[in-house]
Amino acid sequence: MARPERAVLVAVEFTGERRRQSAAARLAKSSAAVVARGRSSAGTPEDVLDDMLREGDDPVPESQAAERSAGLDFEASLAEFQELAKSAGAEVAATLVQRRARPDAATLVGTGKIEEIEGVVASTEADLVLFDHDLTPSQLRNLEASLPCRVIDRTQLILDIFARHARTREGQLQVELAQLEYQLPRLAGKGKAMSQLGGGIGTRGPGETKLETDRRRIRLRIDHVKGQLESVRSIRRQQRQRREAVPVPVVALVGYTNAGKSTLFNALTSAGVLESERMFATLDPKLKQIQLPSRRKVLLSDTVGFIRNLPHTLVTSFRATLEEVERAEVLLHVRDASSEAMDEQKAEVEKVLAELEVSGKPVIEVLNKVDLLGAEDRERLRSGPGSVTVSGLEGTGLAELLGAIDRALVIDPLTEAEFRLPQSEGAALAALEAGAVIANKRFEGNLVYLRAVGPASLVGRFRRFIDRSPA
Ligand SMILES: Nc1nc2c(ncn2[C@@H]2O[C@H](COP(=O)(O)OP(=O)(O)OP(=O)(O)O)[C@@H](O)[C@H]2O)c(=O)[nH]1
Ligand SMILES: [Mg+2]
Protein backbone atom coordinates (compact mmCIF):
# COMPACT_ATOMS: atom_id res chain seq x y z
CA MET A 1 0.00 0.00 0.00
CA ALA A 2 1.19 3.50 -0.76
CA ARG A 3 2.44 5.53 2.16
CA PRO A 4 -0.33 7.85 3.44
CA GLU A 5 0.25 11.46 2.51
CA ARG A 6 1.70 13.57 5.29
CA ALA A 7 -0.20 16.74 5.96
CA VAL A 8 0.51 19.90 7.89
CA LEU A 9 -2.78 21.21 9.28
CA VAL A 10 -3.38 24.92 9.64
CA ALA A 11 -6.33 25.95 11.78
CA VAL A 12 -7.27 29.59 11.84
CA GLU A 13 -9.32 31.58 14.26
CA PHE A 14 -10.32 35.11 13.41
CA THR A 15 -11.30 36.84 16.61
CA GLY A 16 -13.00 39.58 14.59
CA GLU A 17 -15.16 36.95 12.91
CA ARG A 18 -15.99 35.45 16.24
CA ARG A 19 -17.13 38.79 17.54
CA ARG A 20 -19.15 39.25 14.43
CA GLN A 21 -20.69 35.82 14.86
CA SER A 22 -21.64 36.43 18.46
CA ALA A 23 -23.09 39.78 17.48
CA ALA A 24 -25.05 37.97 14.75
CA ALA A 25 -26.29 35.47 17.32
CA ARG A 26 -27.45 38.27 19.57
CA LEU A 27 -29.19 39.84 16.62
CA ALA A 28 -30.97 36.63 15.75
CA LYS A 29 -32.17 36.30 19.31
CA SER A 30 -33.69 39.76 19.28
CA SER A 31 -35.04 39.73 15.77
CA ALA A 32 -37.75 42.18 16.80
CA ALA A 33 -35.05 44.68 17.65
CA VAL A 34 -33.41 44.07 14.29
CA VAL A 35 -36.58 44.89 12.42
CA ALA A 36 -37.14 48.01 14.48
CA ARG A 37 -33.58 49.25 14.15
CA GLY A 38 -33.26 48.12 10.58
CA ARG A 39 -36.28 50.18 9.60
CA SER A 40 -35.42 53.29 11.50
CA SER A 41 -31.97 53.48 9.99
CA ALA A 42 -33.26 52.22 6.64
CA GLY A 43 -30.55 49.56 6.80
CA THR A 44 -30.39 45.84 6.28
CA PRO A 45 -29.65 43.54 9.22
CA GLU A 46 -26.09 43.51 7.88
CA ASP A 47 -25.85 47.27 8.40
CA VAL A 48 -27.23 46.89 11.88
CA LEU A 49 -24.62 44.25 12.55
CA ASP A 50 -21.90 46.59 11.34
CA ASP A 51 -23.33 49.31 13.57
CA MET A 52 -23.18 47.01 16.53
CA LEU A 53 -19.58 46.22 15.78
CA ARG A 54 -18.67 49.85 15.32
CA GLU A 55 -20.24 50.87 18.59
CA GLY A 56 -17.02 50.37 20.47
CA ASP A 57 -13.97 48.26 20.61
CA ASP A 58 -15.97 45.43 22.07
CA PRO A 59 -19.62 46.43 22.06
CA VAL A 60 -20.80 43.69 24.36
CA PRO A 61 -17.87 42.39 26.38
CA GLU A 62 -17.82 38.66 26.28
CA SER A 63 -18.23 37.19 29.71
CA GLN A 64 -15.62 34.77 30.93
CA ALA A 65 -18.00 31.93 30.40
CA ALA A 66 -18.50 32.93 26.79
CA GLU A 67 -14.72 33.17 26.34
CA ARG A 68 -14.36 29.71 27.76
CA SER A 69 -17.08 28.32 25.54
CA ALA A 70 -15.51 29.98 22.50
CA GLY A 71 -12.24 28.30 23.50
CA LEU A 72 -14.03 25.00 23.85
CA ASP A 73 -15.67 25.45 20.43
CA PHE A 74 -12.26 26.07 18.92
CA GLU A 75 -10.79 23.01 20.64
CA ALA A 76 -13.69 20.91 19.38
CA SER A 77 -13.45 22.20 15.85
CA LEU A 78 -9.69 21.62 15.88
CA ALA A 79 -10.23 17.99 16.89
CA GLU A 80 -12.88 17.69 14.20
CA PHE A 81 -10.52 19.10 11.58
CA GLN A 82 -7.92 16.48 12.51
CA GLU A 83 -10.59 13.79 12.13
CA LEU A 84 -11.51 15.19 8.72
CA ALA A 85 -7.87 15.00 7.63
CA LYS A 86 -7.63 11.38 8.79
CA SER A 87 -10.92 10.56 7.07
CA ALA A 88 -9.37 11.83 3.85
CA GLY A 89 -6.53 9.36 4.40
CA ALA A 90 -3.88 11.85 5.49
CA GLU A 91 -1.35 11.35 8.22
CA VAL A 92 -1.18 14.43 10.42
CA ALA A 93 2.45 15.58 10.55
CA ALA A 94 1.82 18.75 12.52
CA THR A 95 -0.96 21.13 13.45
CA LEU A 96 -0.43 24.89 13.46
CA VAL A 97 -2.85 27.47 14.76
CA GLN A 98 -3.12 31.04 13.66
CA ARG A 99 -5.17 33.58 15.59
CA ARG A 100 -5.62 37.03 14.16
CA ALA A 101 -8.33 39.65 14.02
CA ARG A 102 -9.27 39.11 10.41
CA PRO A 103 -8.11 37.12 7.40
CA ASP A 104 -5.33 38.44 5.20
CA ALA A 105 -6.94 39.21 1.86
CA ALA A 106 -4.03 37.86 -0.17
CA THR A 107 -2.95 34.79 1.79
CA LEU A 108 -5.51 34.24 4.57
CA VAL A 109 -2.72 33.91 7.16
CA GLY A 110 0.08 36.42 7.80
CA THR A 111 3.52 36.42 6.22
CA GLY A 112 5.20 35.27 9.42
CA LYS A 113 2.84 32.30 9.60
CA ILE A 114 3.59 31.34 6.00
CA GLU A 115 7.30 31.20 6.86
CA GLU A 116 6.54 29.06 9.88
CA ILE A 117 4.42 26.69 7.76
CA GLU A 118 7.22 26.47 5.21
CA GLY A 119 9.68 25.49 7.95
CA VAL A 120 7.37 22.81 9.34
CA VAL A 121 6.69 21.41 5.86
CA ALA A 122 10.42 21.11 5.29
CA SER A 123 11.21 19.50 8.64
CA THR A 124 8.31 17.02 8.48
CA GLU A 125 8.72 16.33 4.75
CA ALA A 126 5.01 16.93 4.34
CA ASP A 127 3.23 16.40 1.03
CA LEU A 128 0.49 18.93 1.54
CA VAL A 129 -0.87 21.72 3.70
CA LEU A 130 -4.52 21.60 4.73
CA PHE A 131 -6.32 24.80 5.72
CA ASP A 132 -9.39 24.56 7.93
CA HIS A 133 -10.95 27.45 6.09
CA ASP A 134 -12.03 28.16 2.57
CA LEU A 135 -9.52 29.87 0.31
CA THR A 136 -10.45 32.26 -2.45
CA PRO A 137 -8.96 31.46 -5.86
CA SER A 138 -6.30 34.15 -5.41
CA GLN A 139 -5.45 33.10 -1.84
CA LEU A 140 -4.97 29.55 -3.07
CA ARG A 141 -2.75 30.76 -5.90
CA ASN A 142 -0.62 32.94 -3.63
CA LEU A 143 -0.22 30.22 -1.01
CA GLU A 144 0.75 27.66 -3.63
CA ALA A 145 3.33 30.08 -4.94
CA SER A 146 4.94 30.53 -1.52
CA LEU A 147 4.74 26.98 -0.20
CA PRO A 148 6.75 24.05 -1.57
CA CYS A 149 3.82 21.60 -1.66
CA ARG A 150 0.17 21.26 -2.51
CA VAL A 151 -2.35 23.44 -0.67
CA ILE A 152 -5.87 22.22 0.03
CA ASP A 153 -8.72 24.12 1.63
CA ARG A 154 -11.66 22.90 3.66
CA THR A 155 -14.12 22.52 0.78
CA GLN A 156 -11.63 20.57 -1.28
CA LEU A 157 -10.86 18.33 1.68
CA ILE A 158 -14.52 17.53 2.24
CA LEU A 159 -15.02 16.98 -1.50
CA ASP A 160 -12.15 14.52 -1.41
CA ILE A 161 -13.74 12.54 1.43
CA PHE A 162 -17.02 12.57 -0.45
CA ALA A 163 -15.26 11.26 -3.54
CA ARG A 164 -13.83 8.37 -1.53
CA HIS A 165 -17.20 7.41 -0.18
CA ALA A 166 -19.55 7.81 -3.10
CA ARG A 167 -20.72 4.34 -4.05
CA THR A 168 -23.64 4.84 -6.38
CA ARG A 169 -23.36 6.26 -9.86
CA GLU A 170 -25.44 9.24 -8.80
CA GLY A 171 -23.29 9.94 -5.76
CA GLN A 172 -20.14 9.78 -7.87
CA LEU A 173 -21.56 12.12 -10.48
CA GLN A 174 -22.64 14.59 -7.83
CA VAL A 175 -19.20 14.67 -6.29
CA GLU A 176 -17.56 15.11 -9.68
CA LEU A 177 -19.89 17.97 -10.51
CA ALA A 178 -19.11 19.72 -7.23
CA GLN A 179 -15.38 19.21 -7.82
CA LEU A 180 -15.53 20.63 -11.34
CA GLU A 181 -17.50 23.64 -10.22
CA TYR A 182 -14.97 24.19 -7.46
CA GLN A 183 -12.07 23.96 -9.93
CA LEU A 184 -13.41 26.27 -12.61
CA PRO A 185 -12.67 29.64 -10.95
CA ARG A 186 -9.40 28.28 -9.53
CA LEU A 187 -7.86 27.41 -12.87
CA ALA A 188 -6.54 30.90 -13.46
CA GLY A 189 -3.13 30.66 -11.81
CA LYS A 190 -2.11 27.23 -13.02
CA GLY A 191 -3.64 27.91 -16.41
CA LYS A 192 -1.62 31.06 -16.85
CA ALA A 193 1.59 29.27 -16.03
CA MET A 194 0.69 26.47 -18.40
CA SER A 195 -0.26 28.83 -21.20
CA GLN A 196 3.24 30.32 -21.03
CA LEU A 197 4.83 26.89 -21.15
CA GLY A 198 2.84 25.41 -23.96
CA GLY A 199 2.85 27.37 -27.18
CA GLY A 200 1.42 24.76 -29.49
CA ILE A 201 0.70 26.74 -32.64
CA GLY A 202 -2.02 25.07 -34.59
CA THR A 203 -3.26 23.05 -31.66
CA ARG A 204 -5.72 25.76 -30.64
CA GLY A 205 -7.76 28.44 -32.26
CA PRO A 206 -6.22 31.83 -32.92
CA GLY A 207 -5.50 33.82 -29.78
CA GLU A 208 -6.78 31.08 -27.55
CA THR A 209 -4.75 30.40 -24.44
CA LYS A 210 -4.26 27.13 -22.64
CA LEU A 211 -6.34 28.60 -19.85
CA GLU A 212 -9.29 29.04 -22.15
CA THR A 213 -9.08 25.51 -23.51
CA ASP A 214 -8.82 24.18 -19.95
CA ARG A 215 -11.87 26.18 -18.98
CA ARG A 216 -13.74 25.01 -22.02
CA ARG A 217 -12.83 21.41 -21.29
CA ILE A 218 -14.13 21.73 -17.75
CA ARG A 219 -17.34 23.41 -18.89
CA LEU A 220 -17.91 20.65 -21.44
CA ARG A 221 -17.34 18.04 -18.75
CA ILE A 222 -19.75 19.87 -16.43
CA ASP A 223 -22.45 19.76 -19.11
CA HIS A 224 -21.74 16.09 -19.73
CA VAL A 225 -21.95 15.21 -16.02
CA LYS A 226 -25.14 17.22 -15.63
CA GLY A 227 -26.69 15.32 -18.53
CA GLN A 228 -25.71 11.98 -17.02
CA LEU A 229 -27.03 13.01 -13.63
CA GLU A 230 -30.33 13.91 -15.22
CA SER A 231 -30.70 10.46 -16.76
CA VAL A 232 -29.69 8.67 -13.55
CA ARG A 233 -32.23 10.75 -11.70
CA SER A 234 -35.00 10.06 -14.12
CA ILE A 235 -34.46 6.34 -13.60
CA ARG A 236 -34.62 6.89 -9.88
CA ARG A 237 -37.79 8.91 -10.24
CA GLN A 238 -39.40 6.03 -12.12
CA GLN A 239 -38.35 3.59 -9.41
CA ARG A 240 -39.80 5.91 -6.82
CA GLN A 241 -43.08 6.25 -8.67
CA ARG A 242 -43.34 2.49 -8.76
CA ARG A 243 -42.61 2.38 -5.06
CA GLU A 244 -45.15 5.08 -4.35
CA ALA A 245 -47.89 3.08 -6.01
CA VAL A 246 -48.00 1.45 -2.58
CA PRO A 247 -47.40 4.47 -0.38
CA VAL A 248 -45.22 3.80 2.62
CA PRO A 249 -44.24 6.78 4.75
CA VAL A 250 -40.55 7.63 4.91
CA VAL A 251 -38.76 8.21 8.20
CA ALA A 252 -35.36 9.84 7.63
CA LEU A 253 -32.36 9.68 9.91
CA VAL A 254 -30.55 13.01 9.87
CA GLY A 255 -27.71 14.37 11.96
CA TYR A 256 -24.16 15.51 12.28
CA THR A 257 -21.53 13.32 10.70
CA ASN A 258 -20.42 10.50 13.01
CA ALA A 259 -23.48 10.86 15.27
CA GLY A 260 -24.25 7.19 14.72
CA LYS A 261 -27.01 7.26 12.09
CA SER A 262 -25.82 4.20 10.19
CA THR A 263 -25.26 2.24 13.39
CA LEU A 264 -28.81 3.05 14.46
CA PHE A 265 -30.14 2.27 10.99
CA ASN A 266 -28.51 -1.14 11.19
CA ALA A 267 -29.77 -1.74 14.72
CA LEU A 268 -33.30 -0.98 13.56
CA THR A 269 -33.11 -2.94 10.31
CA SER A 270 -30.08 -5.20 10.63
CA ALA A 271 -29.22 -4.22 7.09
CA GLY A 272 -25.45 -4.07 7.18
CA VAL A 273 -24.91 -0.46 6.11
CA LEU A 274 -21.30 0.66 6.41
CA GLU A 275 -20.58 2.09 9.86
CA SER A 276 -17.27 3.75 10.30
CA GLU A 277 -15.36 5.94 12.67
CA ARG A 278 -14.35 7.91 9.61
CA MET A 279 -16.48 10.92 8.79
CA PHE A 280 -18.96 10.93 5.92
CA ALA A 281 -19.01 7.16 5.69
CA THR A 282 -22.52 7.32 4.28
CA LEU A 283 -22.98 9.31 1.16
CA ASP A 284 -25.66 7.49 -0.70
CA PRO A 285 -29.06 7.23 0.85
CA LYS A 286 -30.14 3.79 2.01
CA LEU A 287 -33.77 2.78 2.29
CA LYS A 288 -35.18 -0.17 4.17
CA GLN A 289 -38.65 -1.08 5.27
CA ILE A 290 -39.35 -1.68 8.95
CA GLN A 291 -42.49 -2.41 10.90
CA LEU A 292 -43.55 -0.33 13.87
CA PRO A 293 -45.21 -1.72 17.03
CA SER A 294 -48.57 -0.65 15.56
CA ARG A 295 -47.72 -2.94 12.62
CA ARG A 296 -47.58 0.05 10.32
CA LYS A 297 -44.74 -0.13 7.85
CA VAL A 298 -42.34 2.73 7.20
CA LEU A 299 -39.29 3.17 5.01
CA LEU A 300 -36.28 4.10 7.09
CA SER A 301 -33.75 6.24 5.23
CA ASP A 302 -30.09 6.64 6.21
CA THR A 303 -28.54 9.84 4.84
CA VAL A 304 -25.30 11.74 4.53
CA GLY A 305 -24.11 13.47 7.69
CA PHE A 306 -23.92 17.22 8.04
CA ILE A 307 -20.96 19.21 9.28
CA ARG A 308 -20.06 22.67 10.51
CA ASN A 309 -19.47 24.99 7.54
CA LEU A 310 -20.72 22.45 5.07
CA PRO A 311 -19.64 24.02 1.79
CA HIS A 312 -22.61 25.54 0.09
CA THR A 313 -21.85 23.86 -3.24
CA LEU A 314 -22.23 20.56 -1.44
CA VAL A 315 -25.62 21.38 0.00
CA THR A 316 -26.89 22.11 -3.50
CA SER A 317 -25.21 19.16 -5.19
CA PHE A 318 -26.42 16.82 -2.52
CA ARG A 319 -29.96 18.09 -2.53
CA ALA A 320 -30.97 15.11 -4.62
CA THR A 321 -29.43 12.72 -2.13
CA LEU A 322 -31.40 14.49 0.53
CA GLU A 323 -34.66 14.10 -1.38
CA GLU A 324 -35.65 11.39 1.07
CA VAL A 325 -35.36 13.98 3.81
CA GLU A 326 -37.60 16.33 1.88
CA ARG A 327 -40.20 13.60 1.37
CA ALA A 328 -40.05 12.23 4.89
CA GLU A 329 -43.05 12.28 7.21
CA VAL A 330 -40.89 12.24 10.31
CA LEU A 331 -37.24 13.10 10.89
CA LEU A 332 -35.09 11.35 13.45
CA HIS A 333 -32.41 13.80 14.48
CA VAL A 334 -29.64 11.53 15.72
CA ARG A 335 -27.32 13.30 18.16
CA ASP A 336 -24.08 12.16 19.74
CA ALA A 337 -24.91 12.69 23.40
CA SER A 338 -21.30 11.99 24.36
CA SER A 339 -19.91 14.89 22.32
CA GLU A 340 -18.88 18.11 24.02
CA ALA A 341 -19.92 19.98 20.90
CA MET A 342 -23.41 18.50 21.06
CA ASP A 343 -25.27 21.81 21.07
CA GLU A 344 -23.16 23.38 18.36
CA GLN A 345 -23.73 20.30 16.20
CA LYS A 346 -27.46 20.54 16.73
CA ALA A 347 -27.42 24.17 15.59
CA GLU A 348 -25.50 23.19 12.44
CA VAL A 349 -27.91 20.40 11.60
CA GLU A 350 -30.87 22.70 12.08
CA LYS A 351 -29.27 25.23 9.78
CA VAL A 352 -29.03 22.66 6.98
CA LEU A 353 -32.58 21.45 7.64
CA ALA A 354 -33.75 25.05 7.29
CA GLU A 355 -31.88 25.31 3.97
CA LEU A 356 -33.65 22.18 2.80
CA GLU A 357 -36.90 23.82 3.92
CA VAL A 358 -37.91 20.89 6.09
CA SER A 359 -37.89 22.63 9.46
CA GLY A 360 -41.65 22.23 9.77
CA LYS A 361 -41.61 18.43 9.87
CA PRO A 362 -42.07 16.51 13.09
CA VAL A 363 -38.66 15.74 14.57
CA ILE A 364 -37.78 13.14 17.17
CA GLU A 365 -34.51 13.87 18.91
CA VAL A 366 -32.57 10.67 19.30
CA LEU A 367 -29.88 11.09 21.93
CA ASN A 368 -27.45 8.39 20.89
CA LYS A 369 -24.31 6.89 22.46
CA VAL A 370 -25.74 7.08 25.98
CA ASP A 371 -23.64 4.00 26.78
CA LEU A 372 -20.70 6.41 26.95
CA LEU A 373 -22.35 8.58 29.61
CA GLY A 374 -22.26 8.31 33.37
CA ALA A 375 -25.47 7.49 35.22
CA GLU A 376 -26.01 11.11 36.20
CA ASP A 377 -25.78 12.53 32.67
CA ARG A 378 -27.98 9.77 31.41
CA GLU A 379 -30.64 10.60 33.98
CA ARG A 380 -30.50 14.29 33.09
CA LEU A 381 -31.03 13.51 29.38
CA ARG A 382 -33.81 11.07 30.00
CA SER A 383 -36.04 13.75 31.52
CA GLY A 384 -35.99 15.86 28.34
CA PRO A 385 -39.30 16.08 26.47
CA GLY A 386 -39.66 15.12 22.80
CA SER A 387 -36.53 13.00 22.86
CA VAL A 388 -35.54 9.38 23.22
CA THR A 389 -32.24 8.14 24.61
CA VAL A 390 -30.68 5.18 22.81
CA SER A 391 -27.48 3.37 22.16
CA GLY A 392 -27.34 2.22 18.59
CA LEU A 393 -24.24 0.24 19.40
CA GLU A 394 -25.73 -1.67 22.32
CA GLY A 395 -29.26 -1.67 20.92
CA THR A 396 -30.89 -0.05 23.95
CA GLY A 397 -33.93 2.24 23.78
CA LEU A 398 -34.98 0.96 20.35
CA ALA A 399 -38.48 -0.14 21.37
CA GLU A 400 -39.09 3.27 22.88
CA LEU A 401 -37.84 4.92 19.69
CA LEU A 402 -40.12 2.82 17.48
CA GLY A 403 -43.04 3.75 19.74
CA ALA A 404 -42.16 7.43 19.39
CA ILE A 405 -42.11 7.10 15.58
CA ASP A 406 -45.54 5.51 15.77
CA ARG A 407 -46.89 8.44 17.76
CA ALA A 408 -45.31 11.01 15.47
CA LEU A 409 -46.76 9.55 12.25
CA VAL A 410 -49.87 11.50 11.49
CA ILE A 411 -50.63 10.14 8.06
CA ASP A 412 -52.61 6.95 8.08
CA PRO A 413 -53.50 7.25 11.77
CA LEU A 414 -54.31 4.24 13.86
CA THR A 415 -57.92 3.27 14.29
CA GLU A 416 -59.67 0.49 16.14
CA ALA A 417 -62.51 -1.70 14.90
CA GLU A 418 -64.39 -4.90 15.77
CA PHE A 419 -64.49 -7.37 12.89
CA ARG A 420 -66.68 -10.31 12.06
CA LEU A 421 -65.52 -12.35 9.09
CA PRO A 422 -66.26 -15.73 7.64
CA GLN A 423 -63.37 -18.15 8.22
CA SER A 424 -63.27 -18.66 4.47
CA GLU A 425 -61.91 -15.10 4.11
CA GLY A 426 -58.42 -16.37 4.78
CA ALA A 427 -56.71 -13.61 2.77
CA ALA A 428 -58.49 -10.81 4.63
CA LEU A 429 -57.75 -12.45 7.95
CA ALA A 430 -54.09 -12.82 7.08
CA ALA A 431 -53.84 -9.19 5.91
CA LEU A 432 -55.37 -7.91 9.17
CA GLU A 433 -53.09 -10.07 11.26
CA ALA A 434 -50.04 -8.93 9.36
CA GLY A 435 -50.89 -5.24 9.40
CA ALA A 436 -52.69 -4.65 12.70
CA VAL A 437 -52.54 -5.57 16.34
CA ILE A 438 -55.24 -8.17 17.00
CA ALA A 439 -57.07 -8.78 20.27
CA ASN A 440 -60.06 -10.81 21.51
CA LYS A 441 -59.99 -13.26 18.65
CA ARG A 442 -62.67 -15.94 18.98
CA PHE A 443 -64.35 -18.43 16.65
CA GLU A 444 -68.10 -19.03 16.49
CA GLY A 445 -69.27 -21.52 13.93
CA ASN A 446 -67.69 -20.51 10.66
CA LEU A 447 -67.23 -16.89 11.82
CA VAL A 448 -64.20 -15.18 13.34
CA TYR A 449 -64.60 -12.24 15.72
CA LEU A 450 -61.70 -9.99 16.53
CA ARG A 451 -60.67 -6.47 17.49
CA ALA A 452 -57.99 -4.86 15.33
CA VAL A 453 -55.96 -1.72 15.98
CA GLY A 454 -54.19 -0.70 12.81
CA PRO A 455 -53.66 1.95 10.17
CA ALA A 456 -56.87 3.53 8.89
CA SER A 457 -56.02 2.50 5.33
CA LEU A 458 -55.91 -1.18 6.27
CA VAL A 459 -58.99 -1.12 8.50
CA GLY A 460 -60.83 0.80 5.76
CA ARG A 461 -59.93 -1.80 3.16
CA PHE A 462 -61.88 -4.44 5.12
CA ARG A 463 -64.68 -2.25 6.37
CA ARG A 464 -67.25 -4.58 4.81
CA PHE A 465 -66.38 -7.03 7.60
CA ILE A 466 -66.70 -4.51 10.43
CA ASP A 467 -69.13 -5.87 13.01
CA ARG A 468 -71.75 -3.22 13.63
CA SER A 469 -74.06 -5.48 15.64
CA PRO A 470 -74.36 -4.49 19.31
CA ALA A 471 -71.95 -6.44 21.44
N1 LIG B 1 -20.25 4.02 22.06
C2 LIG B 1 -21.07 4.14 21.03
N3 LIG B 1 -20.56 4.35 19.78
C4 LIG B 1 -21.43 4.46 18.76
C5 LIG B 1 -22.84 4.40 18.95
N6 LIG B 1 -23.42 4.57 17.74
C7 LIG B 1 -22.42 4.74 16.84
N8 LIG B 1 -21.21 4.67 17.45
C9 LIG B 1 -19.88 4.80 16.80
O10 LIG B 1 -19.77 6.08 16.21
C11 LIG B 1 -19.04 6.00 14.97
C12 LIG B 1 -19.86 6.60 13.84
O13 LIG B 1 -20.99 5.80 13.62
P14 LIG B 1 -21.78 5.81 12.22
O15 LIG B 1 -23.01 4.99 12.45
O16 LIG B 1 -20.91 5.46 11.10
O17 LIG B 1 -22.15 7.37 12.15
P18 LIG B 1 -22.96 8.14 10.99
O19 LIG B 1 -23.82 9.16 11.69
O20 LIG B 1 -23.65 7.19 10.11
O21 LIG B 1 -21.77 8.88 10.26
P22 LIG B 1 -21.71 9.46 8.73
O23 LIG B 1 -22.33 8.47 7.82
O24 LIG B 1 -20.27 9.64 8.54
O25 LIG B 1 -22.45 10.76 8.77
C26 LIG B 1 -18.72 4.52 14.78
O27 LIG B 1 -17.41 4.32 15.23
C28 LIG B 1 -19.74 3.81 15.65
O29 LIG B 1 -19.28 2.56 16.13
C30 LIG B 1 -23.34 4.19 20.27
O31 LIG B 1 -24.54 4.13 20.56
N32 LIG B 1 -22.41 4.08 21.27
MG1 LIG C 1 -23.43 6.85 8.11
Query: pTM, whole model, 2 decimals?
Result: 0.74
- 184/378 Cα distance (integer angstroms): 49
Q: How confident is the model at residue 295, as a pLDDT?
A: 83
- 215/221 Cα distance (integer angstroms): 10
Contact between 321 and 304 under an 8 Å Cβ cutoff? The reply is yes
Mean of the pLDDT values across residues 314-326?
Answer: 74
Contact between 307 and 256 under an 8 Å Cβ cutoff? The reply is yes
Q: How confident is the model at residue 162 (pLDDT cuts 50, 70, 90)?
A: confident
DSSP for 163-202?
A: HHH--SHHHHHHHHHHHHHHHGGG-HHHHHHHHHH---TT
Mean of the pLDDT values across residues 108-131?
Answer: 95
Q: How confident is the model at residue 19, as a pLDDT?
A: 59
Q: How confident is the model at residue 95 (pLDDT cuts 50, 70, 90)?
A: very high
Mean of the pLDDT values across residues 189-211?
Answer: 49
Q: How confident is the model at residue 241 (pLDDT cuts 50, 70, 90)?
A: confident
- 200 vs 283, higher pLDDT: 283
| Partners of 94 in the β-ladder | 8
Reduced to 3 states (helix: H, G, I; strand: E, B; else coil), residue 54 is: helix
Q: How confident is the model at residue 202, as a pLDDT?
A: 46
Mean of the pLDDT values across residues 78-105?
Answer: 92
pLDDT of 461 higher than 70: yes
pLDDT of 77 higher than 80: yes
**For ligand 1, mutation pick of 263, 270, 389 (most atoms within 8 Å of CB):** 263
Q: Using the 8-state DSSP alphabet, how is residue 6 labeled?
A: E
- Taking the CA of residue 302 as reference, the ligand 1 atom at the shortest distance is 20
Contact between 334 and 251 under an 8 Å Cβ cutoff? The reply is no
pLDDT of 197 higher than 50: no
**213 CB under 6 A from ligand 1?**
no
**155 CB under 6 A from ligand 1?**
no
- 56 vs 386, higher pLDDT: 386
Q: How confident is the model at residue 305, as a pLDDT?
A: 85
Q: How confident is the model at residue 38, as a pLDDT?
A: 33
**What is the per-residue pLDDT across 14-30, written as a single tens digit (0 to 9) for each?**
887 665 555 555 554 44
Q: How confident is the model at residue 383 (pLDDT cuts 50, 70, 90)?
A: low
Task: Please report, as a single letter, which amino acid is at residue 3.
Answer: R
Burial of 271 (0-12, 13-18, 19+ CB in 10 A): middle
- Taking the CA of residue 283 as reference, the ligand 1 atom at the shortest distance is 23
**End-to-end CA, the chain:** 75
pLDDT of 443 higher than 90: yes
The ligand minimizing its distance to the Cα of 306 is 1
**371 CB under 6 A from ligand 1?**
yes
Residue of the CA atom closest to atom 23 of ligand 1:
282
- 434/330 Cα distance (integer angstroms): 23
Mean of the pLDDT values across residues 139-157?
Answer: 93
CA distances from residue 106 to 74, 75, 143, 303, 438 in whole angstroms, order as listed:
24, 26, 9, 38, 71
- 407/1 Cα distance (integer angstroms): 51
**367 CB under 6 A from ligand 1?**
no
Residue of the CA atom closest to atom 1 of ligand 1:
369
| Partners of 14 in the β-ladder | 100
Give all domains of the chain, ordered by start, each with its CATH number: 6-152 (no CATH), 248-408 (3.40.50.300), 414-465 (no CATH)
Show the DSSP H helices in 303-454 as ranges. Answer: 312-317, 323-327, 342-355, 375-382, 398-408, 426-435
> Which residues, 6+ apart, have CB-to-CB distance to 194 below 8 Å?
210, 211, 214
Q: How confident is the model at residue 307, as a pLDDT?
A: 85
pLDDT of 404 higher than 50: yes
**335 CB under 6 A from ligand 1?**
no
Contact between 350 and 325 under an 8 Å Cβ cutoff? The reply is no
φ, ψ (nearest 5 deg) of residue 100: -150, 170
Kindly report which listed range (49-63, 74-88, 284-298) carries the lowest average pLDDT score: 49-63
The rounded Å distance from CA 113 to ligand 1 centre is 36
CA distances from residue 87 to 91, 129, 133, 195, 344 in whole angstroms, order as listed:
10, 15, 17, 35, 21
> Which residues, 6+ apart, have CB-to-CB distance to 386 below 8 Å?
363, 364, 365
Kindly report which listed range (163-177, 197-211, 322-336) carries the lowest average pLDDT score: 197-211
The rounded Å distance from CA 282 to ligand 2 centre is 4
pLDDT of 390 higher than 70: yes
**306 CB under 6 A from ligand 1?**
no
Largest CA distance in the chain: 97
